[in-house]
Structure 1
């Protein structure tokens, strides 16, 4: 097993020891811990990966024995989990459709014998369902995280076939839930919405940074966004064109733009910025793990996505007390109440986006109101504690529904 699996934990144990779990005090008293495998595609920077990390770290360790597995790649989140002592398994897939990964996943689940496999994102969902069919042991949960408009008929046909082995499906927003229900033809009771959660404490401290550290000017308002640079989905070209429209208005306040994140569209966006004559007022900051320190440098947060499953960066901005302007699409409409916690604009409309940005920047009292209301709303609706609690309740209900045989199986371990 050590030759094909890369098991990485804080102490770097051999891969053959994956399934070696010592009995906890709860097990010694007859209450077995639930073995939970959180399965995803990769463990780089991203909203889904952050939620997996929070689950792995915050679920009650007296009740849950958590392992995290990625089909390919290591990434920043993997390193952070390892540093916190969470077992991480990398299956080292080389490309989409790498059949060896399925074989490695089969061997891992056979060795680990998890009670629950909770898969996140398409490839991981299918892998978990296929292996679950072969082993007929773990409870399998799927999670859909976005409005995957690229999915075609064949993708949904495969999912509809594989989902028959799945005990529950979770979605990160009601928008995604409706989308999945429509394409998967599942009854509503099979799908559960669990909104993403954010640790509010991270966004309460003042920033130790100054604007100059990111190449920003002190005398101009900062409009910012945090996202993967993935076009056309994220609408960043629309944002740059909105900035050009604002600059062409003689009566509008000038502003600078901060784009935090990395992705395949970066070079094209930099070229567009230059061609629009905006290069001197646009800062591409790259990927950062200190977003909580960067957000206070902004005066306004903008999310111009053309489609979005949730929008966790918006929640983080609201918890930091920032006013928000965002597109009226998908899960964003479950986060932002237009006119109360921010402004919503039609997607793909540079003129409407420019107008909304100017409306907020030109009215400081309104910006402050949006910031206060947004923080209260985000903290009440999207706390990490609620997200973890709801996952725990789902897992417990699934184990209970599996019946006495499942309980006996746990107690024999």
Structure 2
């Protein structure tokens, strides 16, 4: 694809404000794989949510020949986003990408506002979970729904990482002929990179005899972590060997630490912050928790299953992207403290049964959720979009790809 461009042009410019968590993992996996396929990529990241070592990602991508830039926000005022919008437009004018791929809600708004800088620019949008949910403020939900509907006219293709996003897109009334499902996948050698459980437990300083319950995610409201702490408080006395490890950071950390103290759990819960190479260390956990209110298709879900780590998750569609996932993990009613406590107690009492389910999950991930397949689909979509610069060509190409 890149050989058709001028020497300074990009095939795809990725744009994101979500410089942490799953979106960061998504880009860290995808961009090098796309570069290796001959798709010349750039990355424009902006905002104030970058994790402490995000600069390492930028350096690694630059070393691969990826055109990277980052604009840090000192605050959250509209002036900062106006400055980032102008910086993005300048970058687009200089590098003339054929495809602009917007990742997550804020970048989705920023990249779709205003007319296209030039008519043959194709715009792809991946929401990575639409940011509306009953657990969120009503005014915010209304604003998100309104913005998504208003800006739909400026999208050539929606790339959804999981089936739950398609369900939400249908609720929003977005144009289904532009939908493309490209499920997240793991590197083909993922299992070979995993640490032995004893090594992983040593690195995370888990004492012998401890039953380690991992909570590997960003500490944000979306993840339902307060619900989990309340549920754990109900069963903690019955399971004295259990220790909970929060592996991630975010704006809810202080609130969660205060909640743990108020529930008498301060000696049973550890907050590790961002854990380098966490994906390799998931084998340290006897059980992993994902109590989210909403998601796209979480990499941690795939990684835990790929590592054969037992999982207890909320019963949202994103955590059960296919019916066969019900054979691989345990679920609880989303947001229900009592049901979560009941299922957590069951999981801790039946860890061997949970491990058996996790083994089924590992086989499913290896056969159905590999990065190579994900990259193949995405590279093909970019190529077809770039060649369809007039009329309804973008929609036609997507329909043709879906039919195949």
TM-based fold match above 0.5: yes
Count of equivalent residues: 376
> 2:122 corresponds to which residue?
139
What residue is the counterpart of 1:392 in the other structure? Answer: 379
Question: Alpha-carbon deviations, 1:226-280, whole Å to 9, x = none?
Answer: 011112x21212222222211244xx57411111000111112112212222222
Equivalent residue, structure 1, for 2:210: 220
Which of 222, 225, 229 in structure 2 is aligned with 1:236? Answer: 225
Q: Which sections of structure 2, spanning at least 5 residues, go unmatched?
A: 394-404
1:199 equivalent in alignment to 2:191: no
Structure 1: segments with no counterpart, 5+ residues = 1-22, 407-413
Cross-structure match for 1:81: 61
SS in structure 2 at match of 1:369: helix
Residue 350 of structure 1 is matched in structure 2 by 337
Q: Give 1:305 shift.
A: 1.4
Match in the other structure for 1:164: 153
* Contact 2:292 2:334 (8 Å CA) reproduced: yes
The Cα of 1:83 is off from its aligned counterpart by 4.0
In the TM superposition, residue 381 of structure 1 has moved relative to its aligned partner by 2.4
Aligned to 2:318: 331
- Structure-1 residue corresponding to 2:97: 114
RMSD across aligned C-alpha pairs, in angstroms? 2.9
**Would you say 1:56 and 2:26 are equivalent positions?**
no
- Note closer, same or farther for the CA distance 1:147–1:27 as it changes in structure 2 (3 Å cut): closer
Could you say which residue in structure 2 is the equivalent of 1:317? 304
Could you give the per-residue CA deviations for residues 106-155 of structure 1, whole angstroms, max 9, x where no partner exists?
11111111111111122322332235524323111111111312543344
1:68 touches 1:87 (CA, 8 Å); kept in 2?
yes
Matched with 2:21 is 46
Query: Which residue does the alignment assign to 2:41?
Result: 66
Shift of 1:349: 2.3
Greater RCO (Cα-Cα under 8 Å, separation 6 or more): 2
- Deviation of the 1:286 alpha carbon: 0.7
Residues in 2 aligned to 1:131 and 1:64: alpha-carbon distance in whole angstroms:
27
* Distance (whole Å) between structure 1 residues aligned to residue 25 and residue 352 of structure 2: 33
2:177 maps to 1:189: yes
2-structure distance, mates of 1:167, 1:370: 40
| Residue 70 of structure 2: aligned partner | 90
Q: In 1, Cα distance between the equivalents of 2:16 and 2:99?
A: 14
Q: Is the 1:223–1:256 contact (alpha carbons within 8 Å) kept by the matching residues of 2?
A: yes
Instruction: Indicate the structure (1 or 2) with the bigger Cα radius of gyration.
Output: 1
* Distance in 1 of aligned mates of 2:372 and 2:65: 20
Partners of 1:287 and 1:335 in 2: CA distance: 30
Cα distance, 1:319 vs structure 2: 0.8
- The 5 A counterparts of 1:16-27 are 26-27=3-4
Secondary structure of residue in 1 paired with 2:267: helix
TM-score, length of structure 1 as denominator length: 0.82
